[in-house]
Amino acid sequence: MMAWLSINLHAFLSTLRKLARSPFSSFFSICVIGITLSLPTGIFVILENLESLSSTFSGSPEISLFMSRDASRDQVSEIEKRLKSEPRVSRFKFVSKEDALAQFRNDNEFSDVVSSLSRNPLPDAFIVSAKRSSDLEALHVEMGKWPKVEHAQLDSNWVRKLDSILKLGHVAAAILSILLGFALVFITFNTIRLQILTQKDEIEVAKLIGATNTFIRRPFLYLGALQGLAGGIAAWIIIEAGLHFMNGAILELAQLYSTRFALSNLDPKESLILFMLSSSLGWLGAWFSVSRHLWQLDSYS
């Protein structure tokens, strides 16, 4: 066990020395990997922020039933009984015309308008949530025909459309991630191939004195994994910088709508996944590159 740890530590340290001996080429390789990873990861981050924004406005689509202004208390109670007996309704909330007017009166934006009114123009209303989102359309049509229901409005319909667009965006981001993942493997493959060519004589001599393929492959695998990890960190920094500049413009837009919203980067768990994935892809590209070269050496011998 100690011998295995010693061999791997030696290979790891020698890999760090190789990176330090060629800082510029290593830097450019890491930047290329970072930019490649930042594209799909940045799209994922933006989609996640848009999902959180849509859920802020409305957790789930609801139906608003506005009663006629001349509806009596008994007629309102009849609608309440219907809602209680409707198996597709999960919950509902009654908002009286008095409570609605009070809410508008407490809103600074509408307080002056409300104070100038001679009478309450608002109707009684029910806010209805369905057990299944697939039942919303049917309930919306049926409830709109109930007696003394002046208007039935399907709230947050735009959120449902946004969710469909976000799902499409996730599919597109997944396809882009797969394609750029292959690109990252090819980048690492080519980078390690160049390293192998500069040490071709050393590898051949090591093979002649009995070095195993695992021994020869090990430092190059560390090199690919370290470059992939550094590329993942670079991608995280690129996304963080991009979000910082975007948040400046978003802050001005949010102030116009009297709300608070800022784009956030990957959380610690997602960041760890990014680093592990980038390191694994770098390792995979290095493994293919070294295995190809060793296969060629074995075939020639």
Could you tell me the two tokens for 39? 């594209």
Instruction: Give the pLDDT confidence score for residue 279 in this predicted structure.
Output: 93
Kindly give the pairing relationship between strand 89-95 and strand 63-67.
unpaired
Instruction: Give the pLDDT confidence score for residue 235 in this predicted structure.
Output: 94
Instruction: Give the pLDDT confidence score for residue 220 in this predicted structure.
Output: 85
Residue 79: burial class (beta carbons within 10 Å; 0-12, 13-18, 19+): buried
Q: From the CB of residue 127, how many other CB atoms can be counted at a distance below 10 Å?
A: 14
| Look-up of token digits 């290979």 | 11
Low-confidence ranges of the chain (pLDDT < 50): none
Half-sphere exposure of 197 (CA within 13 A, CB side): 6
Could you tell me the two tokens for 292? 């190809």
Letter for the amino acid at 22? S
**CA 271, 272, 275 angle in degrees (round to 5)?**
90
- Ordered by start, the domain boundaries in the chain are 2-57+160-300, 63-155
Phi, psi for 145 (deg, rounded to 5): -95, 0
Report the DSSP beta bridge partners of residue 66. 125, 151
Q: For the domain covering 63-155, report its CATH number.
A: 3.30.70.3040
Residue 40: burial class (beta carbons within 10 Å; 0-12, 13-18, 19+): buried
- Nearest one of 270, 249, 227 to 40, comparing CA atoms: 270
Residues 145-192: pLDDT tens digits?
Answer: 899 888 888 765 566 676 778 788 888 888 988 998 898 898 888 888
Q: Which residues lie closer than 8 Å to 31 by C-beta, 6 or more apart? A: 234
**CA 121, 122, 123 angle in degrees (round to 5)?**
125
Could you tell me the two tokens for 297? 């050496």
Cα(74)–Cα(34) distance, integer angstroms: 67
Q: Are 184 and 274 in contact (CB under 8 A)?
A: no
Could you tell me the two tokens for 68? 């006629």
Kindly give the pairing relationship between strand 89-95 and strand 149-154.
unpaired
Residue 107: burial class (beta carbons within 10 Å; 0-12, 13-18, 19+): exposed
Instruction: Give the pLDDT confidence score for residue 100 in this predicted structure.
Output: 75
| Look-up of token digits 């949010």 | 254
Q: Are 96 and 154 in contact (CB under 8 A)?
A: no
| Look-up of token digits 């609605």 | 100
Report the DSSP beta bridge partners of residue 152. 65
pTM of full prediction above 0.85: no
| Look-up of token digits 């806010």 | 127
